[in-house]
């Protein structure tokens, strides 16, 4: 019987963190060999020993005889993930952003990331794409340099939402909180050292709305 809240060692905590990060990154559990390499464990028998301890502590569950049978309790199951195409980088501070990908670009994307369905609400998989954040202008919105931003390309506009914004007169695409006032948009950084600025709606295109953020690992 599992002994809930049993104390685990520093090595076991490190292994648990590796397993969780692996699942969130790949959408499936690691093999025992992956765990040995990734958590720097001396042998496969020691991997098994630590997994037994983590199971007894109520941190994981795993199926005997399965090479990928380890799962961290509380994480979504494999069927609860969807594959989202990775479409490039968006600079939170402007310059050289990525335009909204069309349907063909989404279907033909070479890189994909697993995202828990619970994070994206009722968004359709074909409307979602991921961008890597670059810059620190949105740190107060909990978007840090290197984070993955899950975007929705078909959306209803909501004042104060976070959007990928193309500024055609500057040849820039940036990520900002957006407010509309007549024929102008106010683009607000989420960083106290940066000030909001106004742009003409005729030279501004909202290309995608932020659905969720996946922390960089």
Q: What residue ranges do the domains of the chain occupy?
A: 10-72, 81-214
117 three-state secondary structure: helix
Statement: the pTM of the whole predicted model exceeds 0.85: no
CATH, range 10-72:
1.10.10.10
According to the per-residue pLDDT averaged within each range, which of 12-21, 57-66, 81-90, 99-108 is highest? Answer: 12-21
Right CATH for 81-214 from 3.40.1440.10, 3.40.50.150, 2.10.109.10, 3.20.130.10: 2.10.109.10
Q: What percent of the chain has pLDDT over 90?
A: 35
Whole-number pLDDT of residue 199: 93
Catalytically active residues are 137, 176
> Is residue 90 within 8 Å of 149, Cβ to Cβ?
yes
Please, what's the b/e burial string for 20-29 (b: 16 or more CB within 10 A of its CB; e: otherwise)?
bebbbeebeb
Q: What percent of the chain has pLDDT over 70?
A: 87
């Amino acid at each position: 019987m599992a002994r809930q809240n049993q104390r685990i060692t520093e090595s076991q905590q490190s292994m648990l963190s590796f397993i969780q990060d692996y699942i969130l990154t790949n959408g499936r559990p690691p093999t025992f060999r992956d765990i040995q390499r990734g958590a720097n464990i001396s042998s496969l028998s020691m991997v098994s020993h630590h997994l037994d301890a983590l199971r007894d502590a109520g941190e994981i569950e795993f199926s005997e005889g399965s090479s990928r049978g380890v799962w961290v309790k509380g994480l979504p199951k494999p069927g609860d993930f969807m594959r989202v195409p990775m479409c490039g980088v968006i600079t939170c501070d402007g310059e050289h952003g990525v335009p909204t990908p069309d349907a063909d670009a989404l279907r033909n994307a070479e890189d994909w990331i697993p995202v828990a369905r619970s994070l994206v609400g009722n968004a359709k998989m074909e409307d979602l794409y991921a961008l890597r954040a670059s810059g620190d202008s949105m740190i107060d919105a909990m978007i840090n340099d290197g984070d993955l931003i899950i975007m929705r390309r078909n959306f209803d506009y909501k004042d104060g939402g976070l959007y990928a914004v193309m500024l055609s007169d500057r040849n820039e695409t940036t990520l900002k909180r957006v407010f509309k006032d007549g024929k102008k948009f106010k683009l607000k950084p989420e960083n106290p050292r940066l000030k909001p600025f106004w742009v003409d709606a005729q030279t501004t295109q909202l290309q995608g709305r932020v659905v969720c953020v996946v922390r960089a690992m």
